[in-house]
């Protein structure tokens, strides 16, 4: 399964364990449990990094505008948008 998804086997194992529910005395992967975890995480209020960190926000804005330079003075081009 991991090879088909191009993921490490440990990643698949971790996700299967994380989204398991007790059933018949053991733990089994349950899609409903995984969906519940995903919906719960989406509801959690989380402030975006750029909204909470003014210095980072200014750096990103300057970087996108092409105002950030290399130590030798050459401009660093912003991404093509």
**Domain residue ranges in the chain:** 20-68
pLDDT at 80 over 80: no
Give pLDDT tens digits for 18-63.
Answer: 888 877 777 888 888 889 988 988 887 888 899 999 999 999 998 8
CA angle 23, 24, 28 (to 5 degrees): 40
- Joined tokens for residue 61: 């804005």
pLDDT band at residue 6 using 50, 70 and 90 as cut-offs: very high
User: What's the pTM value of the predicted model, to 2 decimals?
Assistant: 0.43
Confidence (pLDDT) at 24 = 73
Q: Return the H-helix or E-strand segment holding 20.
A: strand 20-23
Closest CA relative to residue 56, chosen from 70, 68, 45: 68
């Amino acid at each position: 399964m991991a090879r088909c998804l191009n993921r490490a086997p440990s990643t698949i194992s971790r996700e299967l364990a994380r989204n398991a529910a007790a059933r018949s005395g053991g733990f089994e992967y349950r899609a409903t449990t995984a969906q519940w975890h995903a919906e719960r995480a989406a509801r959690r209020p989380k402030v975006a990094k750029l909204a909470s960190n003014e210095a980072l926000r200014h750096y990103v804005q300057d970087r996108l505008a092409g105002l950030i330079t290399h130590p030798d003075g050459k401009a660093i081009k912003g991404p093509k948008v």
